[in-house]
Amino acid sequence: MDLETLLKRNYYELIDNDAARAVITYIAGHPSAENKGVRFIKGITKVAMHVHKKKPALTRGLSERLLVYTIEALTLLDRGELDGLHEDQVQKMEGHLHAYAGDFAILRYKENNDVNFVGKACRHYGESIKLLADIELGYSSCQASKAAKVSRQMFELTGTVNWAGSWYKNATKARDLTETFDTNRSQKYHLEAIDAIIAVAKASKERYEQTTSLDDAGNWYRAARKAAQMLEPENLTRSAHFYEEAGKASKAFAQMSGETQSLLDSLEMYETALRLVQQVKGVTGPDTRRLQRLYKSISGEDFSPYQG
């Protein structure tokens, strides 16, 4: 059975014993597949992923070549070499190829630990999400989920604000894309997005404490405020904590920049935190120390010009 027949027969799942050997042999012997056209590249990369999932040892060392194949196919589409595709099929094909490129970039990262490939993966997943969000919602949401997962893993490895931000962005996309057809999954992604924005706030605060830069203070403020807003319907105590954090961040920003608005923002954050603590604990409840701290924050000298 020739290779192209095997690709058609095994497109949706690996059913022929000869398919894995034929696919791996072709890939190992061909640095480029550009001359074979978009349809062939889509087929061989899809079947290669089936092979990887069933027999990962067979594809070891071939991920970068498979990534090259998908980029070649995307380049062909960009040049208008559609290989018989109808115009209404091109966007879907492009979206799937970007998703494959993301998957192969992740495999390459697992082989060589080069973080640049994770960045490439997230960019390809992002392109896939944009292309498919209006025509293949489920597939698009899967790419957002994958991008959120690898971003979270990279944040846990590096602790950097950028990876925390990527985690939040993609978890939010996954939430929004699934809310119309799977509310349980959408809620799961919403909770993940909360975890992610909290990570952004904490990482931004740590970075600000190292750099004392306006940018980092601003990032800390925006992330803490967003975390507080997302938590407020579900956990008033934690929401109050992040409103207080946002107050600290905005106050730090105001002290460095001299901006009156940032000082007013800080006052608003502290007052919101106070309201939530009072709502949960009561003015004479068990958390009076926290109340006293918030009262002190609000009535401090920095805010005195704005008291009524």
The tens digit of pLDDT for each residue in 90-119 reads 999 999 999 999 999 999 999 999 999 999
The tens digit of pLDDT for each residue in 277-301 reads 888 876 445 455 665 676 666 666 4
Q: Which domain holds residue 280?
A: 212-308
Q: Are residues 117 and 218 in the same domain?
A: no
- CA gap 192, 230 in Å, rounded: 11
Classify burial at 12, counting beta carbons within 10 Å of its beta carbon; exposed 0-12, middle 13-18, buried 19 or more: exposed
247-281 as b/e: b if 16+ CB within 10 A: bbbbbbbbeeeeeeebbebbbbbbbbbbebbeeeb
* Token couple for 118: 């994770």
- The pLDDT-based confidence of 85 (bands split at 50, 70, 90) is very high
Q: Are residues 5 and 115 in the same domain?
A: yes
* Token couple for 168: 């939040």
Residue 198: inside a domain, yes or no? no
- The pLDDT-based confidence of 22 (bands split at 50, 70, 90) is very high
Of the candidates 273, 270, 233, 235, the one whose C-alpha atom is nearest the C-alpha of residue 250 is 270
Return mean pLDDT, the chain. Answer: 92
In the chain, the DSSP E strands lie at: none
Contact 104, 67 (CB under 8 A): yes
Residue 28: inside a domain, yes or no? yes
pLDDT for res 223: 99
Of the candidates 172, 87, 167, 170, the one whose C-alpha atom is nearest the C-alpha of residue 127 is 170
Task: Specify the higher pLDDT residue, 28 or 260.
Answer: 28
Q: Are residues 109 and 220 in the same domain?
A: no
Of the candidates 225, 189, 191, 188, the one whose C-alpha atom is nearest the C-alpha of residue 205 is 225
Taken in order 152, 154, 157, 158, the sign of the CA dihedral is: negative
Percent of the chain with pLDDT over 90: 84
Residue ranges of alpha helices (H) inside 113-136 are 116-132
Residue 192: inside a domain, yes or no? no
The tens digit of pLDDT for each residue in 169-211 reads 999 999 999 999 999 999 999 999 999 999 999 999 999 999 9
- The pLDDT-based confidence of 64 (bands split at 50, 70, 90) is very high
Domains identified in the chain, total number: 2
The type of residue at 28 is: A
Residue 139: inside a domain, yes or no? no
Residue 175: inside a domain, yes or no? no
Contact 55, 31 (CB under 8 A): no
Of the candidates 85, 78, 173, the one whose C-alpha atom is nearest the C-alpha of residue 125 is 173
User: Nearest 5 degrees, angle CA 216-CA 220-CA 226?
Assistant: 145
Residue 246: inside a domain, yes or no? yes
Q: Are residues 116 and 218 in the same domain?
A: no
How much is the pTM?
Answer: 0.90
Residue 5: inside a domain, yes or no? yes
The type of residue at 75 is: T
Of the candidates 19, 38, 39, 16, the one whose C-alpha atom is nearest the C-alpha of residue 27 is 19
Classify burial at 283, counting beta carbons within 10 Å of its beta carbon; exposed 0-12, middle 13-18, buried 19 or more: exposed
Residue 252: inside a domain, yes or no? yes
pLDDT for res 284: 47
Q: Are residues 109 and 1 in the same domain?
A: yes
pLDDT for res 65: 98
